[in-house]
Amino acid sequence: MTHAPQHRIQVVAHRGASEDAPEHTLAAYKKAIEDGADALECDVRLTADGHLVCVHDRRVNRTSNGRGAVSALELADLAALDFGSWKKGPAWHGRDEEPDWEFRPEDREDTSVLTLERLLELVADAGRRVELAIETKHPTRWAGQVEERLLVLLKRFGLDAPAAPAESPVRVMSFSARSLARVRAASPTLPTVYLLQFLSPRLRDGRLPAGVRIAGPSIRIVRNHPAYVERLKRNGHRVHVWTVNEPEDVDLCVELGIDAIITNRPAAVLHRLGRQLS
């Protein structure tokens, strides 16, 4: 089953095409762009020497051959680690066929730690508009510094102060309302997304933190509380849902008029939406 295109739902590659390639690596983001993803999602953390890197976990143990907290390691320490070979075979994601991505030791940059600066360069060279959804991770020992460094880097690429939120190819996401408030204070036109893992009673009416116009509920919230999407829409908010991998969840997002689907499987979601890969 595929859907005839209705309103255009943006397809966002979660940590890149992370089912087919190691998450947060250049290989995963290149694959997502090739697959036709409209946007790329990444998590950012600050290294001990002040570089923003794309790593989800507080520690590097799960996704590299190293150990330790990102905040306690310098970029050179991270660059010496292998962020790719852990994801080599079909056993990782339970499929019978071999994955499209194959680890090759000579492709060092593709599976090394990825800085946000390098990801911004990739997007700039994509040859088409590819948006970027950047999540700040919290709590962190670098309170406030992550947002500060992020805005400095976006300014270097001319992305920190769009004329209007709708025109921005970049948005900042967080589970932390305080983090989003810091971003809005420094760059009022940069769009922000408030991520929700659980639906608290104070948010059930569709309100979001002051100044935030995009909600980012989990697919579990959307499954269990579909009327919440309608309340968000009634309050004038857009809705970006994570992490949507199953066909039936894609169908639900279409039915509810979701604005963006964040997925580990951008190619499959695009196909489900009836969109030609570009």
- Helix, strand, coil proportions of the chain in percent (round to 5)? 35, 15, 50
Q: Name the residue with higher pLDDT: 168 or 106.
A: 168
Entry pTM? 0.92
Known active-site residue 138:
no
Q: For domain 10-57+116-272, give its CATH number from 3.20.20.190, 3.30.1330.10, 3.40.190.10, 3.30.200.20.
A: 3.20.20.190
Known active-site residue 56:
yes
Q: How confident is the model at residue 143 (pLDDT cuts 50, 70, 90)?
A: confident
In whole angstroms, how far apart are CA 207 and each of 181, 188, 241?
15, 19, 16
Write out pLDDT tens, residues 200-213: 998 999 999 999 99
Average pLDDT of the segment spanning 151-179: 96
- The β-bridge partners of 260 are 10, 240
Write out pLDDT tens, residues 86-142: 886 444 444 445 555 565 555 788 999 999 999 999 999 999 999 999 999 987 777
Average pLDDT of the segment spanning 261-271: 98
Please tell me the predicted confidence (pLDDT) of residue 160. Answer: 96
Domain ranges for the chain: 10-57+116-272
Catalytic: which of 56, 237, 240, 271?
56
Q: Which of 93, 85, 41 is nearest to 63 (CA)?
A: 85
Q: How far is Cα 50 from Cα 124, in angstroms, rounded to an integer?
A: 23
Q: How confident is the model at residue 276 (pLDDT cuts 50, 70, 90)?
A: low
Residue 155 near residue 162, CB atoms below 8 Å = no
